[in-house]
Chain A
Amino acid sequence: MDVLLSVEGLEKSFKDKKVLHNISFDVRKGEIMAILGPNGAGKSTTIRNIMGIMYPDEGKITFHGYNEIPRNKIGYLPEERGLYKNVKVMDILLYLADLKDYPQNKAKERALTYLKKFDLEGKEHVKMEELSKGMAQKVQFISSILHEPELLILDEPFSGLDPLSQELLKEEIRHLARNGAAILLSSHQMNVVEEMCDRLFMIQQGQKVIYGTLDDVKMKYANFKCTIRGKNNLEKLEQIPDVQRIESKEDSTVLYLHKDIAPAKWLKKLPDDMVINELVMDRISLHEIFIDVATNKNLLLANEQMGEGDEHA
């Protein structure tokens, strides 16, 4: 896949505080790339630098095939967003498309199609202030894709949407990617990221923590874990082979396993006298990795690096 956007060595400070440290990643045509991180990690700052709304102290942002920021080819949905309140839906959509130099008649046609698609048919002459929050969110999303962008930057696009609208939005984002658009998606909802994204970039306190394809990351960090309900002696548990770490909570114990174990084989190694009321065997989820990073525990990553001794790109 062709790279559309490259971010290299981005550094940014506010006052004396450094908020971005050497951030580098690519976004390719036709892929959905997630940028993840807890609040205040530097996601929105990174995005604002890409958009040319802020300027980095160091580093380079390249749009391949363009000499400068191709504003007209980018669709942007900021995290903090809204639209003029006392203006009709169609007027604002046409205005934003006009700012992108998109032909008005085509914009109007597409606006009507999308309004219909998002269950907003007949709302084109309604004022923004009369729409519900979810409806307004959908109009904002339409405004960001109306001009057929090559790069779509979505900062928390699903916040405030009901599950039905979330599905509609997800489907549309996937559709855009299939048609060749490069999509940079920032989100807190790990299930969404797991479901949709091809690659991800996780950032914490302005620094890169994880960067790679979803499969890579899962292979790398998402080891198997075994959750057992039942009261067992800790000493006994520690004797079980291929266990990296044990977390016990009342009757429940989570055994974090080494990387390349074969689940079926490993299960056979459990002592016969273990109390097992319930047993779940699954992989560590992106959500858990995220919580781990966000709470600064870095246990998963530390274990991983200790166990593997390698550095992940």
Chain B
Amino acid sequence: MRNTMKVAKWEIKRNLKNKSFVIGLFLTPILMVVFGFLGNLMGGDTPDNENAKIYVHDELNTFANLEAMVEQYKLPFELEKTNIQEADVEKKLKDAENTAYFFIDNRAFNEGTLPFYTSEDFPESISSQVQIFTEAVKLVQMQNLGLTEEQLAAVSTPITIQALSVDQLGKNSEQEQAMDQEQLMQRIVPGVFAGVILLSIIFTGMMIFQSASQEKKDKIAEIILSSVTPGELMQGKIVGYFVLGLVQVLVFFAFGIPFILWAMNDLPLFEYLFVPELLLFLLIAVLGYLLFAAIFVGIGATMSDISTAGNFQGLVIMIPFVSFFFIGPVASDPTSILAQVLSYVPFTSPVILLFRLVMLDQWSWVEISVSLAILIMSVWLFMKLAGKIFKVGILLYGKNATPGEIWKWMRA
């Protein structure tokens, strides 16, 4: 154990003294914050809905109703009366920004359509929002038909179908909905936190792979192994790169958290973060790391040079990223059979399980326990196998091991 810690300490020190590692450590978070910041600035530059203006040529005397609707639904534009003729609209709109002309006349009753001319940059979202004005025009039409107030009220009240799922029954008050929202945030925030940790340590973990194959290439492995056992060397690497991954995470959050707090004012980030769920998420992240680290260190020891990696090794390196192919289908239905199966497969379970737990508001503890049990057993098994491969592979200088050889070492 002492030797494991010595190796771990060495790997940490060696990398932290390495310029390219340190640059990489800061570059990713800085780039992300810079792009996030730029994105926010750019976001402010997009056509502003609030400045949108709609000129209404109203022949049916319904302008007051329209204004009332804008007020009631808080629609993001201003209305203004105009007497402009339809023939002149094209010319006017050519130079205008964020402007539209709306003509309300008898065509509504005769042809069933009303023209709505917009400038080039006019937001499409508003074009669809104005559909609501058909209600006001319909009202005029019904008034013209001579209906009584009562009839009018009955006819003009729209009927909508309200979907209520069983868990929403009995807690429709706004307060309860807010609590739902808060619970969601209490899963998303720690979930994202654990996800960032998992990804960071997996990426740093990939360096284990390089470290193991570099030791073969530099032919130092035998010197090191005259002082420590292969098991200690392997564990030292796994622990060392885990800590380096956490260093990366720290740097990431040192940049990321202030940025998030700045970009999303009032978000009580820490309240959402420090919840019991976080512990489970972190456990999944750590188990995921250990599994992938075992794979990386084992395969790294079979290769003398990363650039000559065979298909087999290349394929194995891709394993941790297989999960991301399934994010789409799992996101669309986190309770599907596919999602459940992927939570049981050790290679995909860390990412998929984490993702599903964030998505689902009701957790099946049986499923979580089985998934964790499989993951823990896999970590144990892969560590054993990696140890066997590492022991032989690390001393095999000058050539890459074939899958056949690796299979033989694992059975030894």
Interface residues of A (CB under 8 A from B): 48, 51, 53, 71-72, 74, 76-78, 80-87, 91, 95-96, 98-100, 140, 143-144
Contact = CB atoms under 8 A, between A and B. Distances in A.
B227 A100 contact: yes
B214 to A, nearest CB: 8
Contact of B224 (A74, A80, A85, A99): A99
Nearest to A83: B220
Contacts of A86: 18
Interface in B1-59: 3, 6-7, 10, 13-14, 17-18
Contact of A51 (B6, B14, B226, B397): B226
A78 B10 contact: no
B199 interface: no
B169 interface: no
Nearest to B398: A80
A84 B222 contact: no
B223 A78 contact: yes
13 contacts: A78-B226, A81-B219, A82-B220, A83-B223, A84-B14, A84-B215, A84-B218, A95-B10, A96-B223, A98-B6, A99-B6, A99-B227, A140-B223
Nearest to B395: A53
Contacts, number: 63
Contact of B397 (A53, A77, A80): A80
B1 to A, nearest CB: 13
Given A84-B14, A99-B6, A76 B218 contact: no
Contact-residue size bin, chain B (C-beta under 8 Å from the other chain): 20 to 34
Contact of B226 (A74, A84, A95): A74
Contacts of A51: 225-226
B230 to A, nearest CB: 8
Given A99-B3, A99-B6, A53 B226 contact: yes
A287 B55 CA distance: 107
Contact of A53 (B6, B215, B225): B225
A99 B52 CA distance: 72
Given A82-B218, A84-B218, A143 B14 contact: no
A85 B226 contact: no
A126 to B, nearest CB: 14
A74 B222 CA distance: 13
B218 A83 contact: yes
A82 B226 contact: no
A87 B219 CA distance: 14
B346 to A, nearest CB: 31
Given A84-B215, A95-B6, A96-B227, 13 more contacts: A53-B222, A53-B225, A53-B395, A71-B226, A80-B219, A80-B397, A82-B218, A84-B220, A91-B14, A96-B223, A98-B6, A99-B224, A144-B223
A302 to B, nearest CB: 37
Contacts of B10: 95, 98
A80 B6 contact: no
B229 to A, nearest CB: 8
Nearest to B222: A78
B227 A82 contact: no
B317 interface: no
A82 B218 CA distance: 5
Contacts of A99: 3, 6-7, 224, 227-228
Contacts of B17: 87, 91
Interface string B381-412: 00000000000000101000000000000000
B235 to A, nearest CB: 14
Given A53-B395, A99-B6, A80 B227 contact: no
A185 to B, nearest CB: 16
Taking each of B6, B222, B395, B397, which has the highest tally of chain A beta carbons within 10 Å of its own beta carbon? B222
